[in-house]
Amino acid sequence: MRDSSPLPPRAAVLSRRAALGLAAAVPLAAASRAAAATASATPSGAPPTATIGGELLGRGGVQVLGASGLPKRLTARSWLVADHDSGEVLASFDAHRPLAPASTLKMLFADTVLKKFERTERHRVTDADLAGIPAGSSLVGVKPGITYTVEQLWFGVFLRSGNDAVHVLSHMNGGVPETVAQMQAKAEDLQALDTHVVSPDGFDHKGQVSSAYDLTLFARHGLADADFRAYCSTRTADFPAGGKKTFQIQNTDRLLTGAWGVPTYDGLIGVKNGYTSHAGNTFTGAATRGGRTLLVTVMHPKSGGSGVYEETAALLDWGFRQGANARPVGMLVAPLSEGGGKAKPTGKAARPAAGAPARAERGGSSWGLAGGAGGAAVVLAGAAVVWRRRRRAAGTGEGPAPAPDAGASDGRLPDTGATGAGEPGPGDSGARHGR
Which amino acid, 428? Answer: D
The single-letter DSSP state of residue 128 is: G
Is there a catalytic annotation at residue 103? Answer: yes
**Between the CA atoms of 366, 371, 375 and 378, what dihedral angle is there, to the nearest 10 degrees?**
140
φ, ψ of residue 181 to 5 degrees: the values are: -65, -40
Is there a catalytic annotation at residue 161? Answer: yes
Is there a catalytic annotation at residue 40? Answer: no
Nearest one of 297, 294, 250, 292 to 272, comparing CA atoms: 297
Among positive and negative, which fits the CA dihedral 349, 196, 395, 295?
positive
How far apart CA 107 and CA 221 sit, in angstroms, is 9
Q: Which residues contact 329 (CB under 8 A, 6 or more apart)?
A: 38, 54, 56, 57, 63, 64, 65, 89, 90, 91, 92
Helices (H) and strands (E) in the chain, counts: 12, 11
- Cβ distance 359 to 239 under 8 Å? no
- Cβ distance 77 to 303 under 8 Å? no
Q: Is 145 exposed, middle or buried (0-12, 13-18, 19+ CB in 10 A)?
A: exposed
The catalytic residue among 32, 137, 138, 161 is 161
Integer-rounded Cα Rg, in Å, for the chain is 21
The catalytic residue among 40, 78, 106, 277 is 106
The catalytic residue among 32, 78, 103, 233 is 103
Catalytic residues: 103, 106, 161
